[in-house]
Chains A and B, each alone.
Chain A
């Protein structure tokens, strides 16, 4: 008998505080496993966002910096420019990355900042209790769109990977999901590539992970996975939106 699956050394022993069934934990594991497999935990520095994932500085076993809301990629830029040997990643939600931090995101991307960005898109603000996010779907009911997101009034969701894929500085922009074991495995491959790109000095890599928020969606964890599949994936198709390796 051999242990074929156990908790990665990329994570500390701290129990995760997330709600039952929240897929943040899956993505934390993937990021940590990738760093362990690439042997970079000793020189990795992560940047925690403001939002549900703020406490991830307690979970990742590498050095961590907690950034002001939306500023994670500016902070990551500062770390990377200061010590280029560091492997630097930011881990951000949709409010952090695509609302208050849009400028920091777009400009880190267009500078081709040699960092890895993990973007959790769960179409809602989790920590503050379920308000409309920049990625909330049309007609989606949230605390602040109680009659559904009216696009005539509240505008449309942002498709981050599509938007960033137009920028020359982006090495990789890929959207994945963690709703099934197969998709989890694909997500890990994408995250690994995003880190490998940085190690190879290829520039800005972002992996957008479609995730669930059962609590604020008002669904059970299992129902939330189904809702993600039925509603999010059609609006946010999975796939590679930019891969510099494809550009000859």
Chain B
């Protein structure tokens, strides 16, 4: 099953991945705060991910790894 892995420690919660996701399944994880004080992004529904890498392509912090 395709999925993305967000490196939570370097994600700055900028939300550019959210806008890029064609399935609209990336959200900001309000329950997590990383060392820099940001809420990182996460998948809201792993089963919907198609591994298209659009999110990773827009991520300015190269915080996303994509598996398919």
Q: Does B29 contact A (CB under 8 A)?
A: no
Tell me if B65 and A220 are in contact (CB < 8 A): no
Tell me if B60 and A3 are in contact (CB < 8 A): no
Interface residues on A, range: 20 to 34
Q: Which of B9, B14, B16, B62 contacts A7 (CB 8 A)?
A: B62
In the complex, A20→B13 CA distance in Å?
7
- B49 vs chain A, min Cβ distance (A): 12
In the complex, A16→B10 CA distance in Å?
8
In the complex, A8→B57 CA distance in Å?
12
Contact with B along A172-204 (1 / 0, CB 8 A): 000000001100110000000000000000000
A29 contact set on B, CB distance < 8 A: 62
In the complex, A171→B59 CA distance in Å?
30
In the complex, A199→B61 CA distance in Å?
28
In the complex, A222→B58 CA distance in Å?
11
Hey, which bits of chain B sit against chain A, CB under 8 A?
Answer: 1, 9-10, 12-16, 18-20, 38, 51, 53-54, 56-62, 64-68
